[in-house]
Structure formats: C-alpha cells, structure tokens
Amino acid sequence: MDAEQLRENAHKMVDFIADYYKSIENFPVLSQVQPGYLHNLIPDSAPHHPESLQNILDDIQEKILPGVTHWQSPNYFAYYPSNSSVAGFLGEMLSAGLNIVGFSWITSPAATELEMIVLDWLAKLLKLPEDFLSTGQGGGVIQGTASEAVLVVLLAARDKALKRVGKNSLEKLVVYASDQTHSALQKACQIGGIHPQNFRVLKTDSSTNYSLSPDSLAEAISRDLTIGLIPFFLCATVGTTSSTAVDPLLALGNIAKSNGMWFHVDAAYAGSACICPEYRQYIDGVEEADSFNMNAHKWFLTNFDCSALWVKDRNTLIQSLSTNPEFLKNKASQANMVVDYKDWQIPLGRRFRSLKLWMVLRLYGLENLQGYIRNHIQLAKHFEGLVAQDLRFEVVTPRIFSLVCFRLLPPHNDEDHGNKLNHKLLDDINSTGKIFISHTVLSGKYILRFAVGAPLTEWRHVNAAWEVMQDKASALLARLSIE
C-alpha cells in the first residue's frame, strides 16, 4: 500500500466506473449469460507473478460485465431497487480507505458515535418515537440487511421470553406474521431454533389488500394460548415484498402488547417514503413497536449494505448477543461508558457504514431526498395509468408506493392459462435485455412487478419499458391466437 500507487490506480478506477455509468444503458439489464459461462474464461489457478491493472480492467469489461445484472440501470425495475449514488459511493470509498474494524467503541470511537448520531438523524426524519433514539434506553444500529435485523431482534425476543418462562420452553415459543412477510423471518426462526410448527403464517387476501388482519392475529394467539403455547414475537410489514401491502401497525401492536409479545416492524422498502409527510401515515402505530427496520440501501441512495434498525431497549439485544472475551476488554467498555456495537449484531467485525449514510443525508439534504422519493412514486403512478389504459392488462393491487403489480389478462377468462401466460410474458420481456422486471404470486395468480426506484430512471425509461411490455404482450397473444 503506497499512497502514490493508490492515487494513480484509484484515479483509473474512478474513470472506469464513471465510464460504466455513462454506458450503462448499452448493457442488457438482466445478464443473458448461461450458467457456468465464466469457468472457461478464467484460468484454473491464481497467477504466480503480478498482472497489470489494465489487464484486469480489460477482463472486467470483457468477462465480468456481461455477467452482471445491472441494478443501477435506469431500466432496472425488478425486486426492489438497490440504490447507488455519488454520496453513497464516496462514503463507501472512504470506509474502504480507512478500513477500520469497528467492533468496539475503542477500535474507532468515530465509527460508533457517528452511527449513533446519524441513526438519530434518520429516526427524526421518520418521526420515530423518542424511545428509539440513542439518548434514552434505545438506539439505532446499522445491520447488513433486513434479514440480520429481524434475526437479531428475534433472538433478543426469544431470550427475553425464555428468561421469563424458563430455558426449557423453547419449543413452546410461537412467532406470528402474515403470509406476505419476507422469507427472512422464516430463516431467522430456523436459525434461532423456533420449532417450524410454531411459526404461524397467517393468511391474507385481496379483501385486506394483503395486509394482516388484526382479527386473524387475535384468533391465532388465543388458540395457541389455549393449548399452552407461548406467543412471543410478531412481525408486521410496511410495504411487503410482493405487493407493498401495509399491515395496520396500531391494531396489531396493541394485540402484541397486551400479550407481552415483541413487536417488530419491517419497513425495509417503504420506510424511505416515510420521510415525506404525506407517506408518514403508513407507519402510524410504530409507537407500539419494540423494533423498527428500514433499508437505506434500497431506496435511500445509500450503497449496499446499510440496513437501519432501531430498538427501544438496547439491553435486550446486548443480553442476547454479547460476549466479553479478555482480549477485547478495555477501560471504556468495562466502565459502561460507551456503546459496543458488536453486541447488537451477529458478526464481531463491522465496517464504518455510517459514513455513507451521513454523506447521503448531507450531500442531498432532506428536501432533495423527499423530491427523489416523490418523483419515483409519480413515475409508478404514471405507469399504473398506462397499464390501466390497456384493456388487455389489469392492475392487480392498488399502488401505494413505487411498485405496480399487474398482469396480462388471460384470454376468455381462462385463469388456468393466466399464470403460464404471464410467466411466459415475463421471460419474453426479460430476454430482450431492454428492461428487467420480476414477479410474484398473489392468491394463486402469477403477477408481474414493476418497481420504480433506480436513481437513473426517468419518464422516458418508464414509457419505453411499457412499450417493450406491450410489444411482447402483442407478440405473445398473436402467437397464441395462431396456435
């Protein structure tokens, strides 16, 4: 590591990356390579002698980029977005440059303290209850992903419950969520040893727009109590992965609270929208939550990974996740004067991720961030309008944020055929490489998802995307009518 070598080579890399962004629309959005494509393009073993950076950059251009699915393309509308921005990128650079490992306060006080401050900033933008601020018993922490966020709070809740009901009652603990909840919760249950038969996946349907009905939760809890089980964890979602359904936090939270359960709110995607006053209503009731999560790396211009988790009682996390080996002991930690984030997360080591979130908030400012969110929602609304005008299609669930769930209507109302048709349409659209969208299934129906949220997406990209879809639909329907 020589400073001047770093300077020279990193300037080259900056230009490589800037050029990539300039030409990003030239690549197929969804990589069109076949499984195993790279095996024959790369040697079998590492080189003995050094190679030049230029060689490597050439390989990246010729061998790696064809195998990349371009999440930053303006024509990327799949899953949910993974935002990159100038500010987020600069923060990543700086974090990689300092390359500290901030497990304890002492290993870089600034890393811990900036994270506490910046998560307080974000909590205030979201108007989270004061209990979530670091100034009290709670606080925020950056996790890698929403999966890790739900896992750590599930573990905290598990251990808190076991303390109350006895260590040998693990098999009686019950978790509740809707069938629209992210699969990360199921995985967290597997990891934490929750019995699979004690994971209640409560059914939703179009009557509640796929949100969890408080009645069905209350009934399930009451059934479980009757047979001697112990309800201990509820996960609600604001902006589900399939269709951005919004669970009614206040009613659900009241039920959880009256049963002494931990109440976690997963707003991984939609949380970002709640910095706008007009969308803040969707997390009304968050006051009842024990923990709240949103992914700044999805739709908040902060490069992956940066998942913000807040808890009201940080001691529950610490009691579940702390270890205190001799080699990490130090005055500040022993005196309980500081936060050691190692005890709030699964891994020991952690990167200086608050830098990028801090830079996003400062380089853009609240007003621009609100404008950014509103623009995407406007684009999605526009797309929804386009779909509604084409009678061959239907919008399946009411659009709330920047996701539109829609499908091609099966000719002659032949529902059996509808799923195959839309599956085929999805493949045809994505095979063009012009745009990338994804799918889900709601009430047995195969649905296409159009998620606006890439930073580069403009009106023209949405219009062009719709043209691709219409063209592919026309071709598909024409083929069908011939067959």
**Sites for its own copies among residues 88-127 (CB under 8 A):** 88-90, 92-94, 96-101, 105-111, 113-114, 117, 120-122, 124-125
Does position 391 interact with its own copies (CB under 8 A)? The reply is no
Find, among 417, 472, 419, 467, the residue nearest to 441 by Cα.
Answer: 419
Laid out side by side, the sheet with 393-395 consists of: 393-395, 403-408, 445-451, 438-442
Choose, by CB under 8 A, the member of 129, 131, 169, 186 that binds its own copies.
186
| CB closer to its own copies, 251 vs 301 | 301
Dist. CA 212–CA 404, nearest whole Å: 20
The answer to whether residue 340 forms part of the interface with its own copies (CB under 8 A) is no
- Closest separation in Å from C-beta 446 to its own copies: 9
C-beta of 367 vs 416, nearer to its own copies: 367
Q: Nearest Cα to 268, choosing from 305, 226, 223?
A: 305
d(CA 52, CA 395): 52
Whose Cβ is closer to its own copies: residue 39's or residue 412's? Answer: 39
- Counting contacts by CB under 8 A, is residue 398 touching its own copies? no
- The reply to whether 460 sits near its own copies by the rule CB under 8 A is no
- According to the binding rule CB under 8 A, does residue 388 interact with its own copies? no
Q: How far is the CB of 209 from its own copies (least distance, A)?
A: 17
List 136, 260, 347, 411, residue binding its own copies (CB under 8 A) = 347
- 33 belongs to the binding site for its own copies (CB under 8 A): yes
Q: Cβ(145)–Cβ(154) under 8 Å? A: no
DSSP-derived secondary structure for 400-446: -SSEEEEEEPPGGG-HHHHHHHHHHHHHHHHHTSS-B-EEEEETTEE
Piece of 40-48, 244-252, 380-388, 474-482 that binds its own copies (CB under 8 A): 40-48
Say whether residue 453 binds its own copies (CB under 8 A).
Answer: no
Q: Which of 35, 228, 413, 416 binds its own copies (CB under 8 A)?
A: 35
Among the listed residues 29, 142, 153, 155, the single contact to its own copies using CB under 8 A: 155
Q: In this structure, what token pair is assigned to residue 332?
A: 């500040």
Element containing residue 308 per DSSP (H, E): strand 307-311
Q: Quick check: 66 binds its own copies (CB under 8 A)? A: yes
| Residue 228 interacts with its own copies (CB under 8 A): yes or no | no
Least distance from its own copies to the Cβ atom of residue 400, Å = 17
Least Cβ distance, residue 381 to its own copies (angstroms): 22
> Could you tell me which of 81, 89, 3, 13 has the C-alpha nearest to residue 360?
89
User: Which of residues 207, 226, 277, 331 is near its own copies by CB under 8 A?
Assistant: 331
In the block, residue with structure tokens 């239907």: 394
Question: Contact, 287 vs 257, CB < 8 A?
Answer: no
Contact 180, 237 (CB under 8 A): yes
Does the protein bind its own copies through residue 39 (CB under 8 A)?
A: yes
Reported residue count of the chain is 483
Give CA 140 to chain center in angstroms.
Answer: 17
